[in-house]
Chain A
Amino acid sequence: MTNDELKAYLLDKFPSAEITLGTQYVQMIVASADLHQTATLLKDAKETSFDYLICLSGVDYPEYMEVVYHLESVSLRHVMVLKVRTSDRANPAIDTVSDIWITAKYHEREVYDLLGVHFNNHTDLRRLFLEDGWGFPLRKDYVDEIRIVER
């Protein structure tokens, strides 16, 4: 599907989501309660069949934390961006998608490690790079005590 067709399709299927056409890809923001169901549908529906999770990133914005999923369909070759937001900075929690795309299991561990986003129902949510008790360095309020980044 081209970006426009994909956007029209998604608007039809997910009326409650916020769907826009970015500079490169169609972007869809879903409520965190709908994430798991939406992701399952995106993967299983024949028209979309997003079976390849390219990249899973976390971003810390001033008002909310966001997790971004770049998805591609191997057979249909279209790409989209799925986003989910949570405004709870103290205990951000989002459902895991590691049962849908296995690779998410490790990408989610990375996001948990660096941004402190908790993933519900994740089978093995441990820190990946850093020691236990370390802060969450990619958060904007992280204090860089050893001044490794800002000199």
Chain B
Amino acid sequence: MSEIKEIMFNSDRLATDEYLVNMGPQHPSTHGVLRMLVKLEGEKVLNIQPHIGYIHSGIEKMCEAISYPQIIHLTDRMDYLSAHMNNEAVALCVENALQVEVPERVKYIRTIMDELARLASHQLWWCVMGMDLGALTTFFYGLRDREMILDIFEETCGARLTVNYNLPGGVMFDIHPNFQKRVKDFITYFRKKLPEYDQLLTGNVIFRERTEGIGHLSLADAIAYGVTGPSGRASGFSNDLRKHQPYSAYPLVKFNEILDHRCDTLARYEVRMKEMHESLSIIEQLIDNIPEGDYAVKMKSVIKLPEGEFYQRVETARGEFGVYIVSDGKKNPYRVKFRSPGFSNLFALNNMAKGHKIADLVAIMSTLDLVIPDIDR
């Protein structure tokens, strides 16, 4: 016994070697096939090297062989939780290149759908965040409420996740006759449920202990690493494209850009929680005022973009999503590049998690809200 005590308190005899651990590609907290090579000293994280490529699907290469309306269907498969926003980015890019003005009705529908998708994404993030930290109940609460949004999607778009609702020039179908009523019912319902979320997780002592002051990302680093979306805004990086480069019906609605200057895991969590309230308020302002009119303008059956380069930025649930199209005047693009928010966000992880315990790494990764196909496209 005395010998064990001696070993425990005599640091010279305790092995303090640094060692490498593979986290993933099948680790449950990576939510996809992401492998991280973590250098540890005991439980302390010294360095993280993310390795990606396990689900690289060559979407950019595939885009070079297909037409513009077809590209939209591939963008769903990247960030599947922000499928609608990704679709919209390509649709807007093509419309701007051809200088097509879409009807007001389309702008309203797109914006409402964007915000519903953002809510569904944040709900899933919230339940998974709780689960990552060992609170399984959040998973059931979040998925129960997310189901209502997916049902609304299903009724109008015919799909629940990869919605494919956008087209260059408008949307695929008009909204379902039940759409407005169901959305309003959902808003009333979810307004009551959000305080429950706070009671269950936000105020929880264990949760706060595990998030407060963990994973600091300074404003300068957030900008240098290009960390956008709620993760960047929690470091005070004002990057909400709905405010700065408004598109669709965003210039018509009043909402706040949620900024936080605490820079830690809790700040990133709270920014997303507050964003859900903002999303509800945006939908509320639009849902009763959807103008009458066409749900799409007639486009040519073969869409050809003029020669040149076009860039479109939209705000997805994870941050800034960009589409860069180089056209040589043919029906398929010369080159397409997607700037995905997750890609830039992921590589800031090392900066945030260094020096923390390996369990904190899971919490930090959760608040980055990574979707792997978005990074590894």
- Whether the pair B53, A22 counts as a contact (CB closer than 8 A) is no
- Whether the pair B320, A54 counts as a contact (CB closer than 8 A) is yes
Nearest Cβ on chain B to A127's Cβ, whole angstroms: 8
Q: Which of A44-83 contact B (CB under 8 A)?
A: 51-55, 57, 59-60, 68, 70, 74, 77, 81
Q: Cβ of B61 < 8 Å from any Cβ of A? A: yes
A1 — which chain B residues lie within 8 A by C-beta? none
- The answer to whether A60 and B61 touch (CB under 8 A), given A55-B322, A106-B343, A130-B53, is no
Q: Cβ of A38 < 8 Å from any Cβ of B? A: no
Q: Cβ of B310 < 8 Å from any Cβ of A? A: yes
Q: How far is the CA of A110 from the CA of B59 in the complex (A)?
A: 14
In the complex, what residue of chain B is closest to A137 when comparing beta carbons? B61
Q: How many residues of A contact B (CB 8 A)?
A: 35
Q: Cβ of B376 < 8 Å from any Cβ of A? A: yes
- Whether the pair B324, A74 counts as a contact (CB closer than 8 A) is no
- Whether the pair A149, B225 counts as a contact (CB closer than 8 A) is no
Q: Cβ of A91 < 8 Å from any Cβ of B? A: no
Q: Cβ of A23 < 8 Å from any Cβ of B? A: yes
Q: Cβ of B14 < 8 Å from any Cβ of A? A: no
Partner of A101, one of B58, B224, B324, B339: B224
- The answer to whether A52 and B311 touch (CB under 8 A), given A60-B335, A149-B61, is no
Partner of A23, one of B238, B308, B313: B308
Partner of A51, one of B53, B223, B339, B344: B223
- The answer to whether A57 and B53 touch (CB under 8 A), given A103-B225, A103-B226, A114-B60, is no
- Whether the pair B339, A54 counts as a contact (CB closer than 8 A) is yes
In the complex, what residue of chain B is closest to A58 when comparing beta carbons? B337
- The answer to whether A24 and B311 touch (CB under 8 A), given A54-B226, A138-B61, is yes
Partner of B310, one of A23, A53, A110: A23
Q: How many residues of B contact A (CB 8 A)?
A: 37
- The answer to whether A24 and B53 touch (CB under 8 A), given A103-B347, A149-B64, is no
- Whether the pair B311, A70 counts as a contact (CB closer than 8 A) is yes
- The answer to whether A150 and B309 touch (CB under 8 A), given A55-B324, A114-B60, A137-B58, is no
- Whether the pair A25, B56 counts as a contact (CB closer than 8 A) is no
In the complex, what residue of chain A is closest to B226 when comparing beta carbons? A103
- Whether the pair A129, B335 counts as a contact (CB closer than 8 A) is no
Nearest Cβ on chain B to A104's Cβ, whole angstroms: 9
B225 — which chain A residues lie within 8 A by C-beta? 102-103
Q: Which of B292-346 contact A (CB under 8 A)?
A: 308-311, 313, 320, 322, 324, 326, 334-335, 337, 339, 343-344
In the complex, what residue of chain A is closest to B347 when comparing beta carbons? A106
Interchain pairs with CB closer than 8 A, number: 87
Q: Cβ of A148 < 8 Å from any Cβ of B? A: yes
- The answer to whether A102 and B311 touch (CB under 8 A), given A57-B337, A137-B58, is no
A52 — which chain B residues lie within 8 A by C-beta? 223, 226, 239
Q: Cβ of A128 < 8 Å from any Cβ of B? A: yes
Q: Cβ of A118 < 8 Å from any Cβ of B? A: no
In the complex, what residue of chain B is closest to A53 when comparing beta carbons? B226
- Whether the pair B61, A22 counts as a contact (CB closer than 8 A) is no
Q: How far is the CA of A81 from the CA of B322 in the complex (A)?
A: 14
In the complex, what residue of chain A is closest to B312 when comparing beta carbons? A24
Q: Cβ of A105 < 8 Å from any Cβ of B? A: yes
Q: How far is the CA of A54 from the CA of B337 in the complex (A)?
A: 12
**Mask of A100-130 contacts with B, CB within 8 angstroms, 1/0:** 0111011100100010000000000001111
- The answer to whether A54 and B58 touch (CB under 8 A), given A101-B226, A102-B225, is no
- The answer to whether A148 and B58 touch (CB under 8 A), given A74-B223, A102-B225, is yes
Q: How far is the CA of A105 from the CA of B226 in the complex (A)?
A: 11
B344 — which chain A residues lie within 8 A by C-beta? 103, 106-107
Listed A/B pairs (10) with beta-carbon separation below 8 Å: A51-B224, A52-B226, A53-B226, A55-B339, A57-B324, A70-B339, A74-B238, A101-B226, A127-B53, A129-B52
5 nearest A-B residue pairs (beta carbon): A55-B339, A57-B337, A103-B226, A129-B53, A129-B56
Given A60-B335, A102-B221, output 14 extra A-B contacts at Cβ < 8 Å. A22-B308, A23-B310, A24-B311, A52-B226, A54-B320, A55-B311, A81-B311, A107-B343, A107-B344, A128-B52, A129-B53, A137-B61, A149-B62, A149-B65
